[in-house]
Structure 1
Amino acid sequence: MSINEEQKPIQEVLSFPILQSDRIRLAVHDAGAFRNDCTELGKQVDGLSQLLRSTVRFATSTSTLYENPVRRIFTEVGKTLQRALTLVKKCKRRRRIMLCLGRASKADFRKTQSLLDASIADLRWLLGILDRDSGIALSLPPIASTDPILSFVWSFIAALYYGELSDRTEAASELSSLALDNDRNKKIIAEEGGVVPLLNLLKESSSPDAQMAAAKALLNLADDQDAVRLIGKEVGIPVIVQVFGKSPMRVQILVAKLISRMVEHDPVSQEDFGRENVIRPLVMLLSFETFVDDVDERGHSLGIHSIVKMNKEMEKNLENLKHGHGSSLSKETERNTENSKNGRRLSWSWSFCSDGSGGRGGNYRKERENEDPEMKLKLKVACAEALWMLARGSVLNSMRITETRGLLCLAKLIEKNQGELQMNCLMAIMEITTAAEVSADLRRAAFRTNSPAAKAVVDQLLRVIKEFDSPSPQIPAIKSIGSLARTFPARETRVIGPLVERLSHANLNVATEAAISLGKFACPENFLHVQHSKTIIEFNGVPPLMRLLRAGEGPQLHALILLCYLAMHAGNTEDLEQARVLIALEEANRMEVSQNHELRELLPKAIYHLNLYQAGVPPHRQPYVPEVPFEHVGKPNGLH
């Protein structure tokens, strides 16, 4: 169907074939040649006209019309009727007009009659899927003979509009299966208007089975940006958030997966979900039964009024952040942090959700408590993945997570769980810390050194780095520590030791990530780069770095960068001379081992600094000239 046809008002689409059938009836009476054939054709058109009028009566009587098959079939019927009208006009009594228009033939009538029969079958089928009470048996319509999937999609979507609840649930399941088959089916379902009725079914709170069927179908559709944008265009994101907050656990699992998939494929939906406050119920569900044993310093759980007050402050902080009031946000966050000092942690209460802005999980509290542990675990895995996707590349969403006590919850789950849940929590923290690396406001708000949540996160990250052997959890933990490098004071040497140990890891990816993270401690952008560089050397970090130089281009690049930082900021240590770092750097500079722009600038500087400090080596061996006044040369402070 052309774009012009799609843009026509539905009233025009419905009326055109009926007008054509009336014109054909008049033309039949005026026929001279092939009168019998014209009469038979007129009878077919009369039957077709009755079906057209029945369909129009249904279309005008229903509050919501599923337009896609109506437009397509009525347009094709109109084309057939136009052909029939042209044929009948050729048979007019006046011979002169016949000669001008060209003669008709028996073959023309047979072809036109065949097309009219197909149009009648199409209309019968259309009336059958729209009016479920018509009693018309459904079969494959001629219009979809070359593409049966189209008729299946039309009939299932129509069932979503006009069927009983059980029929709608079954239709959603069928669409879900079709979407799983191939990408073309997904595209047809989306183009033929399947998203809107699926969202309407998702809101069917009286039937969890219906909600699950709709969520599965939407989940299978939302695997590319266009499909996700279509869901967002149909105001699907507020619906999804609302359903997620007030549904039973088995529905929430699927909706959380839907949120993850939509956010993964579309950054616009990522921000839209954040604005719709989906993070709050996600954290609430993650924290369910997580802080049961956590009480305040007086031995009593925090009251509901305290929780509500704290969350109101959180919402105010988010508004400040949206309008750029960073200082106000930091002050509010400091006050919130004070509330959780000395072991005072939030004892989450499901009755808190009754305000409607997060979730209304109180209606299902008993059901949640009685669910089997496997179901609870699946929900937490899905929620953790959703938080991971929401935080990925988004400073604002990362701030929202930290403002809802999400950091403390994630740290607790890493401590108490293993497998997929632990991994998703680690990935969420990695994304939050990555955002903190580029946002000073987020660093100050969430990762202050005296913050219990930040301390809990760092403790768990270090535990994973030190105690785990698998690269999968170690790599995000190492990346997270590196992203937080600017938040650690010089005395916090406990975070550097484990990273130095990982430089010798058998897995090169782990060793490389350790070198990258340590580079963030020693780089000039870090205010404490001198102290951190000395600490790395004290923890015997130079020998494993020298070994990494022989481990391939990737590890070699990051090992060289870190060695350059150490040479520039702690070049007067004997460890560098004993490890022959100067020779290695000179060789790398001479061989031009990398096209990396940063390394090309660092190597001459590092070599110059080592030449200054190592005895017996003339400083003029390299052409590099320091960018400091001559009188400061030789004074370490002047070189920084």
Structure 2
Amino acid sequence: MAASTAPTATTTTDREKTLQDELAFPILLTDRLIKSAGEAESSRSECVDISRQADELSHKLRAAVRLTSSPSSSSSIYDRPIRRIAADVAKNLERALTLVRKCKHTGLLRHVFLTITSSAADFKKVTNLLQSSIGDFSWLLSIYSDDEGGANLAIPPIARDDPIIAWVWSSIASLQINRQVKDRIDSANYLASLAGHNQRYRKVIVEEGAVSPLLRLLKDGGGSPEGQIAAATALYLLVDETERSGIVTNEGGIPIMVQVFAESCMSVQIAVAELVAKVAEIDPVAREVFGKENVLKPLISCLILDVDMEDYKRLYVGGGKNSIHSIVQKELAAKNYPNYTNRVLNHGNSSNSYHKVHSCSSFDSRTGGSSSRKERENASTEVKLKLKVNSALALWRLCEGSVFNSQKVAEPKGLFCLSKIIETERGELQYHCLMAIMEVAKVAEDNADLRKVAWKPSSPPAKAVLDQLLRVIKEESNLDIQIPAIKAIGCLARIFSAKETGIVSSLVGQLGNKDIGVAIEAAIALAKFACPDNHNCVSHSKTIIEFNGVPPLMKLLSASDRSRKQGLVLLCYLSMHVGNSKELAEARALKTLESAAKSGMAQNPEVREIFSRALHHLMLYQDGSHPHNHGFAVV
């Protein structure tokens, strides 16, 4: 009969017990069982069999004690299966002891009692339980044996109904014991294959303690980049929700990831960058920890591979008293912009300090290894591209909602680099860089300091990015990259002066886009230009109308419910600021808003107030409109 394999909660008291303490109790029970079996005066043959099993189990328990107390393994032993099986064995021994003790005394009444309470079926059941315990401990000793190679995929009796627990235990034990690196890699790959199956397997793997040995393998690789890649792959598959990502963070995984990424070869960096992106995507807390561990610096350095950064070097590296570098540095210092001055100083003092990533393998010290520069020169185009794609993906995820990380990416080097990639690359790399810019812009929308310092249109890095965003909006037909570019421009609406009509006209041109998704995003972005929170809202509203934005806007109102809502918001802003516009009158904007009010659209809390103000302005300016005729208007 296999015992239940459902994971059990471990109390603090249980954790404080040493393995020797856990094993001492079942050893004591085997001694008692052997003694009681020898004193039995009835069911002698059955008690002899039980005594033999208890003796065999005693030897295995003592072997486990020797294993766990040896200096070489006591500090690194994987104890979860030992504790779990020892507890199960103790229950089986207690049951056997209770049965055998009934056989100690003789007498007619006692014989009758035993006949009633201790049938042959009871002895058979106890014998089967003890045999299962022997099988469990035989398997347990095998997974810690140095003679075994890799994980032991045999199934012990305790896991007969749920083999996954045994496979996980065996793989983690193989990872944790200092065996050959091939065995550790095989075990990590096997855990990764299990993790790829379903959510429950991932949960069991993490609950049974796989994270810590995987992080150890990620850090040292067992002397092999393949080991680090295997560990990174397994962790990537495991951290698919915030709770499991938090376990990785609590185990000290983030500093390890950052160190490995900064110091490893390119193949390892590819895997680790993907892992960083995954953790950052699902765990907002981890994003901030990554930023404080300075992961963005090596990520940007990887993106700079083969990118022409002459504009950046000319403006920011070295720099005299009147250079942009010097001027920006003084301005930022005066504003006490957090940590920015030191970072700019670091950029200026050494062009190598930010360019260089120690990505050569540290595992080949006997032959002298290879420099980062040499490895990158010899790397294939595919490897370089994959590294840059994953690094850009990590940047994107790290910037989501993070002021700290967005500030770092929005420094001159980061913006120049991203603008160059958006200009010259296509596919995933271009898309990831656009998404990173979009996330930085989203943060800047609500952060005045970031807008004023990093996104001045006159600043060369900001201008380089803005030029590329506008180019994408106007020239590209790929919706996947058009939309983040439009969103980014919308988020930055407050940085543009009234003279920046080219920005607004580019967005107006997308109001009539045949793809409704692009048209809606253009309307949302234009609404941020025309919003009363924007200092230049009146000028921008006039520009929207001057560039013939009203006709496509009116068409958008009838496309879908979402387009109608976003279109009405923009129409309300235009009506509030340029209510006397003949274009709005010709488009019958007042009638449109009246219809929307009647239909209940205006009762949406997000638009109720602006509906009221828009109707008021239009009724003042458009002929034939009188306030008493519009009792349905929102007030």
TM-score by length of 2: 0.88
Structure 1 residue 559: deviation in Å?
1.5
Is the Cα contact below 8 Å between 1:304 and 1:352 reproduced in 2?
A: no
Are the equivalent residues in 1 in contact too, given 2:597–2:632 (CA < 8 A)? no
> What are the residue-to-residue correspondences of 1:221-236 with 2, within 5 Å?
221-236=238-253
Q: Distance in 2 between matches of 1:93 and 1:352?
A: 79
Q: Which residue of 2 aligns with 1:634?
A: none
| Aligned residue type for 1:274 | G
Match of 2:41 among 32, 43, 65: 32
Say if 1:169 and 1:210, in contact at 8 Å, map to a contact too: yes
Q: CA deviation at 1:106?
A: 2.7
Q: Percent identity?
A: 47
Match of 1:612 among 603, 610, 620: 620
- Deviation of the 1:345 alpha carbon: 13
Q: Who is 1:242 aligned against?
A: 259
**1:89 is aligned to 2:101:** yes
Structure 1 residue runs of 5 or longer lacking an equivalent are 355-360, 628-640
- Structure 2 CA distance for partners of 1:43 and 1:535, relative to 1, 3 Å: same
Cα offset for 1:4? 5.6
Residue 568 of structure 1 aligns with an amino acid whose one-letter code is: M
Give 1:607 shift. 2.4
Inter-CA distance 602–295: structure 2 relative to 1 (3 Å threshold):
closer
1:464 pairs with 2:479: no
State whether structure 2 residue 584 is matched by structure 1 residue 576: yes
1:376 aligns with 2:384: yes
Residue type of the alignment partner of 2:585: E
| Correspondence 1:58 to 2:67 | yes
Q: Find 1:147's aligned residue among 152, 162, 168.
A: 162
| Code of the aligned partner of 1:242 | Q
2:570 to 545, 562, 577: 562
- CA distance in 1 between partners of 2:77 and 2:66 (Å): 11
After superposition, the C-alpha distances for 1:202-230 in whole angstroms (9 at most, x for unaligned) are: 11252001111111111111111222111
Q: Which amino acid aligns with 1:248?
A: C
In structure 2, relative to structure 1, the CA distance for the partners of 1:426 and 1:297 (3 Å cut) is: closer
- 2:532 aligned with 1:524, yes or no? yes
Distance 1:230 1:491, change over 3 A: same
The runs of 5 or more residues in structure 2 that have no matched partner are 1-6, 360-368
- The 1-side partners of 2:164 and 2:91 are apart by 23
- Structure 1 residues 75 and 594: CA distance shift in structure 2, 3 A: same
SS state at 1:473 partner: helix
SS in 2 for 1:181: coil
Q: 2:12 matched to 1:3?
A: no
Q: Is the 8 A contact 1:326 1:441 kept in 2?
A: no
Residue matched to 1:633? none
For 1:166, the equivalent position in structure 2 comes to 182
Partner residue in 2 for 1:71: 83
> 1:615: Cα distance to partner?
4.1
Of 206-215 and 287-296, more deviation after overlay is shown by 287-296
RMSD of aligned residue pairs (Cα, Å): 3.3
User: Which residues in structure 2 correspond to 1:180-329 (within 5 Å)?
Assistant: 180-205=196-221, 206-291=223-308, 293-294=310-311, 296-297=313-314, 302=317, 327-329=335-337
Matches within 5 A, 1:424-443: 424-443=432-451
Report the equivalent of 2:520: 512
Is the 8 Å Cα contact of residues 171 and 187 (structure 2) preserved in structure 1? yes
How far has the Cα of 1:602 moved from its partner?
2.1
Answering whether residue 415 of structure 2 is matched by residue 416 of structure 1, we say no
Alpha-carbon shift at residue 461 of structure 1 (Å): 0.5
Q: CA 1:223 to 1:598, structure 2 compared with 1: closer, same or farther past 3 Å?
A: closer
Counterparts of 1:45 and 1:481 in 2: how far apart (Å)? 76
Read off the aligned partner of 2:27 and give its amino acid letter.
Answer: I
Q: CA deviation at 1:24?
A: 1.2
User: Per-residue deviation at 1:334?
Assistant: 12
Cα distance in 2 for partners of 1:52, 1:334 equals 60
**Other structure's SS at 2:498 match:** coil
- The 1-side partners of 2:340 and 2:33 are apart by 77
Distance in 1 (alpha carbons) for counterparts of 2:153 and 2:130: 19
- Give per-residue Cα distances to partners, 1:315-348, cap 9 Å, x unaligned: x99xx9xxxx9930089569959x99xxx99788
Asked whether the 8 Å contact 1:284–1:348 carries over to 2, the reply is no
Q: Structure 1 residues 401 and 85 mapped into 2: Cα distance closer, same or farther (>3 Å)?
A: same
Partner of 1:110: 124
Deviation at 1:160, TM superposition (A): 0.6
SS at match of 2:158: helix
In 2, Cα distance between the equivalents of 1:148 and 1:407?
51
- The CA deviation at 1:608 is 2.2
**1:211-255 deviations in Å (ceiling 9; x for gaps):** 111111111111112221111121111111111111111111111
**Residues 564-586 of structure 1, C-alpha deviations (whole Å, 9 max, x = no match):** 11111112222222222222222
**Counterpart position of 2:608:** 600
Instruction: Name the amino acid aligned to 1:406.
Output: G
Greater displacement, 544-553 / 501-510: 544-553
One-letter amino acid of the structure 2 residue matched with residue 195 of structure 1: V
Deviations 1:273-325 (A, max 9, x none): 12211111111111122135547449xx946999xxx99x99x99xx9xxxx9
Q: What per-residue deviation string (whole Å, max 9, x for no partner) do you get for residues 181-214 of structure 1?
A: 1122111111111111111111125200111111
Structure 2 residue aligned with 1:23: 32
3-state SS of paired residue (2:533): coil
**C-alpha distance in structure 2 between counterparts of 1:587 and 1:465, whole Å:** 33
SS for the counterpart of 2:337 is helix
Q: Deviations over 1:120-153 (max 9, x none)?
A: 1111111010122379997321111111122111
Closer/same/farther in 2, CA of residues 347 and 27 from structure 1, 3 Å limit? closer
Q: 1:345-382 CA deviation, whole Å, 9 max, x = no partner? A: 9788644769xxxxxx9943311221111111111111
Alpha-carbon distance in structure 2 between the residues aligned to 1:305 and 1:83: 85
Structure 1, 80-89 or 129-138: larger mean CA deviation = 129-138
Q: Which moved more, 1:259-268 or 1:382-391?
A: 259-268
Partners of 2:396 and 2:439 within 8 A in 1: yes
Distance of aligned partners of 1:626 and 1:547 in 2 relative to their CA distance in 1, 3 Å threshold: closer
TM-score normalised over the length of structure 1: 0.87
The aligned amino acid for 1:367 is E
Q: Distance in 1 between matches of 2:275 and 2:213?
A: 16
Mapped to 2, the partners of 1:152 and 1:626 lie a distance apart of 66
Partner amino acid, structure 2, of 1:43: R
